[in-house]
Structure formats: structure tokens, C-alpha cells
Amino acid sequence: MISLVALENLVKENEERVNIQKRQLSEHESGETRMSRVALASTESNLEKATEDLTKYNAMLAELLEQDRAEIEEKERLEAAIQRKKYFENQHIRIQDNTELPSDQKIEAMHIIDELPSEVFFEDDDLFKVAATSIELNIRNHNDLAEQLTTIDKEFKAMIKVVKDKEVSDLGMLNFQIPIIVLHFSVLLANIKEVLEEKRDARIQRAQKQVTAEHALEESKKAAEKARVALEKSQNKKKDENPDSSEENGEETQEDEGESAEEKAEREASEKKLEEILKAIEIKEKQQTLFRGFPKYEDWWVHEMWGSHQAYFALYKWKAIINDLCQTNKQKKAWSGIFDSWIFVKKMLDVKSELAFEYNFAFDTLIKKYAELEEELSDANLASMEMIIKEITKKENFGSFKPNHRLVTPYLEFKRIQLEEKKEDKKEDK
């Protein structure tokens, strides 16, 4: 509305005039700057006129605001939309100019922007987190993951078709966030299994090499013993035939008669036994369950989060158990990000209660299918875990802090500096 914008500018201009003239009068009274009588009278007159105008324009603006609230709200909405449009239009430029992000993460972030649907936008911080997780989990190098994400997305949208209540319309952003979390969880599971398999294969190879080396050593000892016995027989035979020959020549020779049939059969039997042992080692290792699955979580941990320390402590322990299942530092780092996203979505859905049950159930169903993460459903197990948590919390020292505890965090230091600088700026303006 043209009149609204004009009045807002008039109010702003007169406020500035009033402030300037008040400051001039204040400086005159304090003796800081002296004005002539004519200038003083003119300033006082201008102040009175500007004050009257400011009061009048404020009254007109208040009346206009009261009468045209709907139009004002529309104006504010349009202004916010324009600002948001500019924000995302310049997102590529902000990413390129960012000096704190590594180049691979900036490239990944721009790839993600290009892949997003035209009506979907991620804030910078969220975009960088998704990009970092994508790099950590090596998602872009696996074409099959893109197909898997598409499949997960289709399944999720099919599950939430029944959700039509307007009260959950603000959960629309989860339509894109949930499939990504499921995919990341799935990749983490696959990566843990892959590393465990590599470690198992390495154990098998070490065990087989050790057995092979022991077998070779045993065979070498047997061969040496046979050679010694054969030499003794040869020496004894020659002594019997020519007692003085050994003393005169001082050398003994042994003819290579080759491998006898009996020795060949014994060697083949030994080799067959070695193969059986090596095979048994491999079978024994592969029969063991490499990954026994993620521990089950309980819904009351999320529902009572921030309401009871037992719920929060149970989540903390559950997170720590899965962290211990991670085999590498990259997996641990990825799990930390996945947990943050998972608990954020779960708590957001929990707040909506019955309205978001369909969303929550769809999320749980996909997590179970693709990441093998299940919720505990048994009443007996729920009660048992509750008792375990109670016993654990009794033993915990909640009066202690973590080893690197700091009362003054880096952000608090930053905030203090910023507030202090603002105070200094205000003093300079006065």
C-alpha cells in the first residue's frame, strides 16, 4: 500500500529530526556547543513542529494499521518472500565465497542444490551438514544409492498419503528430510558390515598364514630328521663295508634316491590335512555373526525427553552403544550426525502426538527395513529396560562434569565480544 509506505517514511524522517534537534539543544545546555539566540529559537521551533508532525503521522499510521491489518500482513509476507528468494538466489555465491569450507564440501553442496526439486530449498547450515555427511559416507560415488533414495522417497510418500490434516502441514519439510536420514542410516549399517567383513577376512588370513607357517616348520623338522637318519644309515653302511674310508677321506656323500611312493603318499596326506585345517578356520570364522544388529530404542525415551533425566540418560547410553559398534572414526562421526537428525525428527513428530502418528510410523517402518533399527514393543522388555536404566542412574555420578568441561564456551566468549562492541558503538554515537 503506497500510503502505508509513505507514512512509515514520514515517521522515520520526523523521528530523525526530533533526535537531531534534541541533541543540539542538549549540547547547547551542557555548554558543549553554543548557539545564537536566533539559532536556538529556530531549533526549539523546529523541534516543536517536528514533534507535532511525528505525533500526527504516528496517529495516522496507527489508524491505517488498525484498518488494513490484512493488507499489512500481506505486505510483510511479500517482503519476507522477496528476502527469502534473494537468499536462495545468492546461495551459490555465498558457498563459493565461503573460506571456511573445504572445496570438496562446497562442490558437493552446489551439486545438492542442483538436485533439489524446484520448490524445495535448504538453509545454508542444513545444506552444509547434508553435504558433509554425503562426503563422509561416499554417497555420490555410488549410483545405486541414488536409486535407493528414490525408492525410499516413493515408499515414504505412499505411506503418508493418508495424512491430510492441516495441523501437520508444517511437517511438509520432513517429506524430504526423512528419506535422506533413512538412506544415511542404511549406508552406515552397510559400511559397518563391510568393515567387519574386511576385519574378519584379515583374521582368517592371519590365522591361515600362522597355521601354514607352523605346518611348513613341522615338515621342515620332519625332513631334517629323515635326512639325519638316512645319513646315519649311510655312514654305518660304509663303515661296515670299508672301516678306514671315512677316516681317510673325512667326507661322506649321499646319493639322491628320489621320493619313494611311501614318502609321496605321506606328503600328500599332510598337504590334504593342511587344506582341511585352513578350510575349517575359514568356515568357523564365517559362521560367527559379524553384526548382531543395532540395539532397540524405546519410544518413551523420546516422549519424555527433557522431562525426565532417565529418558535422556537412556538415549545417551543407547547412542554410546551404537557408537561402540562403529568400526572407524568416520563411522562414529557419521553416527553422531545421523543421531542428531534422527532425534530431531522423532521429537518433532512426538510433539504433534496423534496428528503425526502416520508420519512417525512411516519413518519407523523405513528405518527398520533399510537400517535394521527397531523399536522395543514387548511390555516385558520395556519394563526390564526401565529397571536397568534405574539401576544404572543410581550408580552414575551426576555431580561430575566431562573432562574438558568449560563454563565459558567459545560461543559465549564470542557473544560477550559482540555485545561489548555494540556498547562501544552506542557510546560513540552519543
In degrees and rounded to multiples of 5, residue 297 shows phi and psi of: -100, 165
| Pick from 127, 144, 147: nearest CA to 135 | 127
User: What's the CA gap between 219 and 197, in Å, rounded?
Assistant: 32
Average pLDDT of the residues of the chain: 80
Q: For residue 244, what pLDDT is reported? A: 58
Query: Looking at the predicted structure, is the pLDDT value of residue 166 above 70?
Result: no
Please give the Cα distance from 86 to 393 (Å, whole number): 50
Average pLDDT over residues 172-184: 85
Domains in the chain: boundaries? 2-82, 199-287
Band the pLDDT of 148: cuts 50, 70, 90: confident
Taking residues 134-160, report their average pLDDT. Answer: 76
- Residue 14, pLDDT above cutoff 80: yes
Place 251 in a pLDDT band, splitting at 50, 70 and 90.
very low
Contacts of 140 (CB under 8 A, 6+ apart): 108, 111, 134
- pLDDT of residue 7 exceeding 80: no
CA distance linking residue 384 with residue 377, whole number of Å: 12
For residues 85-113, average pLDDT:
79
Measured CA to CA, the distance from residue 295 to residue 292 in angstroms comes to 9
Q: What percent of the chain has pLDDT over 90?
A: 14
102-131: average pLDDT: 77
Using the predicted structure, report yes or no on whether residue 305 has a pLDDT greater than 80: yes
Confidence tier at 142 by pLDDT (50, 70, 90): low
pLDDT at 167: 61
pLDDT level of residue 252 (50, 70, 90 thresholds): very low
Mean pLDDT on 306-310: 82
The rounded radius of gyration (Å) of the Cα atoms in the chain is 40
What is the per-residue pLDDT for 257? 53
Q: Which residues contact 352 (CB under 8 A, 6 or more apart)?
A: 167, 168, 171, 359
DSSP one-letter code for 297: B
372: left (phi over 0), alpha (psi -120 to 50) or beta: left
Position 38, amino acid: V
* Chain segment 188-238, per-residue pLDDT in tens: 999 899 888 888 888 888 888 888 888 788 777 777 777 777 777 777 777
The answer to whether the predicted template modeling score (pTM) of the entire model surpasses 0.75 is no
